[in-house]
Structure 1
Amino acid sequence: MRDRFTTNRRTRVARALTATAAVAALAVAPLAAPAPATAAVSRADLALRWAPVHYQDVDATGAHALGGQSDYLTAVDFDGNLNGRDNWDRAGASGTSLAAHAYYSVVETSTHWYITYLFFHPRDWTDHPFFETEHENDGEGVLFAIERDGSPYGVLRGAVTVAHSDFYSYTPAGSTWTSGRESVDGTLQFQTSPHDSFAHPVTAQEAQGHGLKAYPQYAINGDGLVYYPSTVAETPSSGDDRDVRYQLVDIFAAGGLWAQRANANLFAGLGTFAGDTSGDCGSGTWSCSANSANAPWGWDDGNDVPARGELASDPAKVSAEYFTVPAGLARGYSYNPYAGAAAALAEAARTAAPTVD
């Protein structure tokens, strides 16, 4: 049963990623701390300043929980390679890393910055024997829309989270944004980090399936982890560690996830992580599905107007659909590396059956 709760700080064990060429392909230099308010702000600065304090519920029960480690955040190449089809089997194996990472991308218009965050787990799992499926790899996340108001970091106006095949929208208290075509689902809370001087938005993921919403619409139930954005990657000391720092990795970095989008070992299609049904995935449960997790350019809420992938690739469109923005927002991008593949993304949205995360 998940009924333990402790506030004692634990000594963390740093676990370095295996030094292989595959790992180096995704590696980037650690992000610097956010710049002082008087200095120019880089995209990395923006990503670190607005990265969420992230609550992760942990379930240590069940054959596929790995004692809770199946709910730990980690890097896509946690096992030292860029093969998406061995992640289920290598989760928790000797020589792999559970150091906490999250991925981000920043795109810009003249009026807003849009920052997308991806949180990765090697397993989407369940301990229920009926009516629920498992799959290899799991990628869910959140979009933050930041108004460029003349201050160094802007002001956060709205958020859209990814929980499986549904999107949920939120606004902070006092935001000028209100419901648009979709109703706002709640208030985005903020929490001060002990590792910097900023109040960060707060998000949370459920155990097992890892749907992501604004805290406390998901919350820790017994054991759990609280992740804080930082310049280093820490490994939780246990499944009930309330102070774990995670390191951000730029999706657009040289050799990064976006550069790897045509790597058939990592992606089964545009925006779809490769994943098979080997090992014990699905054993004792309803089934195990293949190729069922998505990167940000594959996220989709099939019931809503924005097309597959547009949460990341056209966030101004998503924001205009989900929210009423009194001051308006620019639709043309001054920086958007996703746009170079806009035709392929649009074609994939028209022709490919969406996968379910």
Structure 2
Amino acid sequence: MDIDQLKKEIIVYSQEIGIDKIGFASADPFIELKERLLQQQQLGYQSGFEEPDIEKRTNPSMLLPHAKSIIAIALAYPSKMKGAPRSTKEARRGIFCRASWGEDYHHILRQRLKMLEDFILAKVPSAQVKSMVDTGELADRAVAVRAGIGWSGKNCAVITPEFGSYVYLGEMITTIPFPPDIPIEDRCGTCTKCIEACPTGALVQEGQLNAQRCIAFLTQTKGFLSEEFRDKIGNRLYGCDTCQMVCPANKGKDFHLHPEMEPDPEIVKPLLKPLLHLSNREFKEKYGSLAGSWRGKKPIQRNAILALAHFKDRTAIPDLVHLLKEDSRPVIRGTAAWALGKIGDDSVAKILEQALQHEKDEEVLREIEKGLRMLHTQRKK
């Protein structure tokens, strides 16, 4: 088998099936990454969504015995939305991050990787392969950097020279010993714009992320959001693009190469108030195709309530009162109570006081009291 020739054929085929960038790396253990992940674990910086076994995240041979190399792929996604609706005082809107525009990228990349698998196995039937996207055990970004897809930015994103950091990543471990590509040298230099712009200080030092403070992570949590972060969420419903938007390497980068990645403006920049009243079925029908729907409707609805509080949208008071009185979920009732206090309309003071008498959940009671304190403070001003 001529492996160099096979590599060339794979590269050509990858372009034919809509893979925007491909790279090849050795399947050696990721020793530096292991040390960094252990440090992350010790500092309590992990999100909890990752594969908990650090050995699996850093040793490809644990995932595929006799692994010899890894093929990394990248697909570019749009950074600008065509026909984006405006958020107005009467009709406030939230926003899903760019990585949740269009069809769920996990499906898109898995399809491309399956096609790549079939191509390789048709050429080398004795080969073994194992593909993964994002939710797999391996660290996508470390693989992509080793394979020369891009360099690891100070915002912890892989930045490609061609597409900036607006790329989805996937990889395939294989028993075929492909010659590795050369990694790209770091091009961030002395720039620290992403670190300075992070709303919560989640980028604690160059190339290290405290996921517990990252808005992208916080928008996906299901419980009450810490008060420290409620105002900083803004109108984000899922994810955060701040550290990408300020990155000089992303300036002017906007690619519309894949129709299935194009956003529906009314879906990814939706009206906030209608979001509050969706049933599970309605949510799944409308938002189920987005990557940002994977945690269900509760985090999205909680974030929508926080966004309405951020805008101090008095037109939302009836909606919030309804949630406070009728919703079965403590997180939604409590967040609605806090939002009513934040909006600061005297008409809700009596409603909050009545809720205080009837509510049984201790966490919700604390949120009602917070709302009343905010109203009291505002009256004094």
Pair in the same fold by TM > 0.5 = no
Q: Which structure has more helix as a fraction of its residues? A: 2
Q: Point out which structure has higher relative CO (alpha carbons under 8 A, 6+ apart).
A: 1
Q: Which structure has more strand as a fraction of its residues? A: 1
Report the TM-score, using the length of structure 2 for normalisation: 0.25
